[in-house]
Amino acid sequence: MTDPWLDATAQADLVRRGEASPFELVDSAIQRIERLNPKLNAVIHERFEKARAEAISPDLLAGPFRGVPYLLKDLLAQSAGDPFHEGIRGIAELGHVARTDSEIVVRFRAAGMICLGRTNTPELGLIPTTEPELRGPTRNPWDPSRSPGGSSGGSAAAVGAGMVAVAHGNDAGGSIRIPASACGIVGLKPTRGRTSLGPEFGELGGGAVHQLALTRTIRDTAALLDLLGSPATGDPYFAPPPERPYLQEVGADPGRLSVGFMTAGPGGFVKPHADCIQAVREACELLAGLGHDIGESYPRALDDGGFAHHFGAGFQAFTAHSFDWWQRETGHVLGQEDVEPLTWFMYQAGQALTAADYLRSLEWMQAYARRVAAWWEDHDLLLTPVLPEPPQALGGYSGDPVAAAVHAVKTVTFTAPFNVTGQPAISLPLHWNAGGLPIGVQLVAAYGREDVLVRVASQLAQARPWLEKRPPAFS
C-alpha cells in the first residue's frame, strides 16, 4: 500500500517517476476506505470497480494528477452513470442516476484523477453538519461523537482520515470552510465565478454558491485552483484570471500585508467560544512574527442586522428552486413525505416568497457586498474564526426545524458574508484545543485575490506545519 498521508501532488509524482501505478494508488485508497468508512460513514456511493478499471485503462488521461484518486460530494456535481441524490430520501427511493457530467467532473477527469465514489451531505446542503436521515451521520475523525461540519462533511472527514488526499466540495454559506475547520484540513472557497457550475447552472443562490475541494496541503489547493478555475463555455461571468499560475504562488514572498482581525461575532449576534478566540489570537501572533501589520479592524457593514433575513430568503428561494429542478429532472413531485422537516420548512418559506421579495433581498445583498468589500481598499486580509465553537456534538440540529434554521444561521456567522460578497476565503488548520479538536481560522482576501491567500497560507504552513497532526484513531 502507498502512504495514505501523501498529498495528491506527491502521489502524482510517484506515478510520473514510475514508483507507483494508478491502479496501486486507487487500490490502496479503496482498501483504506473499506477499513475506515464503517467508523465514519463518509463515503455513501462506491464506484470501486469502475475506478479500478479506469486505473488500468489506456484511456486514462495524462493530466498532472494522473492516477490520483478523489471523492465527489453528492451535491450539485453530477457524474454520468453514478447515483445522484443530494441527500434527498425521495430521490434515492427513485434510484436516480446522473445522466451527464458536470463541468467540474470533466475537469477532474482531464487532470487524470479517478473518482472512487460520492460522499455524504445533508439534504440539499442546507445545514452546516452532515447528518441526513437518508444515509445517517458522518462522524468527525478527530472525535466520532462529533460532527465533521457540513455540508461537505463527508468529503472533509474522508480527507481528514486519510482515505483520499482530495475530495470535491461546494460552499453556499461555509460548506467548504466549516468542515475543513472541523476536520483539521485546508478548505478554500474561491472567488465568485472562479469555478464553473456548468453545464447545469450559470449561477446559484444569487451567486453565493462556489465549488472547489478539500485538501491537506496548500500546494494541492493551488494546483486544483489552476486546473478547475477557468470559465466554461457560456458561463454568465467569470473571475479575473491570475497573473500567473497559483501553484507558482506557493512559497512566494507575500510581502508585508495589512491584516485586520475580529474575534466577536458580527453585530454581537454570536459570542465565539474561547477556543475559537484563542485560535485567532495565536494566528495574529504568528502573522505578526512573520512581519505583517496586525490590527483589530473589520468591515463594520458586517454588523448589519439585516443580513440574516436577506441571506435566509436567498436560501429559501434556493430550496424552492431545488424542488422544481428535481421535478423537472425526474418527473417526480417532491412532497412532505420525501424530505426532512427542515427541508420542507425551507421549501414552504421559499414558495411563499414573491419574485419581488427575492429580488429585493438580492438587491440588499448586492449593496451589502459593496459596503463590506470597501474595507479591502485599505487592507489585504481579514482574519476571523471559521466556526463560533469547536466541532459540535452530533444531533445538534434535530428537533424543531425553526430552531435548526436559527442554529445554522449562528454557525455560519463568520463564513456566509463572503459567499454574498463573492470574495475568496480559506480555512487553515492552525490550532488544536486542549481536547485535541481542530479549530480552523479563516483568512479573507479581496475579490479575485486567491494569489494573496495562497502566498500567506503557504507561509503559515511553513511556520506552523500541520501535516504531522493526524487523528489518533485513524492514523
pLDDT digits (tens, 9 = 90+) for 370-395: 999 999 999 999 999 999 999 999 99
What are the grid coordinates assigned to 257, written together?
A: 500585508
Cα–Cα distance, 412 to 395 (Å, whole number): 17
Beta-carbon contacts of residue 82 (< 8 Å; ≥ 6 apart):
45, 47, 97, 98, 115, 118
Q: How confident is the model at residue 44 (pLDDT cuts 50, 70, 90)?
A: very high
Find the domain containing 81 and state its range.
8-299+367-474
Q: Total structural domains in the chain? A: 1
Per-residue confidence (pLDDT) for residue 1, from 0 to 100:
61
Is 342 a member of any domain?
Answer: no
Would you name the residues annotated as active-site residues? 73, 151, 175
Is 358 a member of any domain?
Answer: no
Contact between 210 and 198 (Cβ < 8 Å): no
* Of 72, 63, 78, residue with least CA distance to 111: 63
What is residue 140's DSSP assignment? Answer: B
Is 272 a member of any domain?
Answer: yes
> What CATH number did the domain enclosing 379 receive?
3.90.1300.10
Regarding predicted confidence, which is higher, 407 or 268? 407
Is 117 a member of any domain?
Answer: yes
pLDDT digits (tens, 9 = 90+) for 347-360: 999 999 999 999 99
* Of 94, 66, 100, residue with least CA distance to 80: 100
Is 203 a member of any domain?
Answer: yes
pLDDT digits (tens, 9 = 90+) for 138-151: 999 999 999 999 99
**Position 190 pLDDT exceeds 70:** yes
Cα–Cα distance, 181 to 389 (Å, whole number): 11
pLDDT digits (tens, 9 = 90+) for 421-469: 999 999 999 999 999 999 999 999 999 999 999 999 999 999 999 999 9
Instruction: Provide the angle, in degrees to the nearest 10, between the axes of the packed helices 341-352 and 307-330.
Output: 100
Is 314 a member of any domain?
Answer: no
Is 169 a member of any domain?
Answer: yes
Is 121 a member of any domain?
Answer: yes
User: Which residues is 258 bridged to in the sheet?
Assistant: 293
pLDDT digits (tens, 9 = 90+) for 224-266: 999 999 999 999 999 999 999 999 999 999 999 999 999 999 9
* Of 77, 66, 74, residue with least CA distance to 26: 66
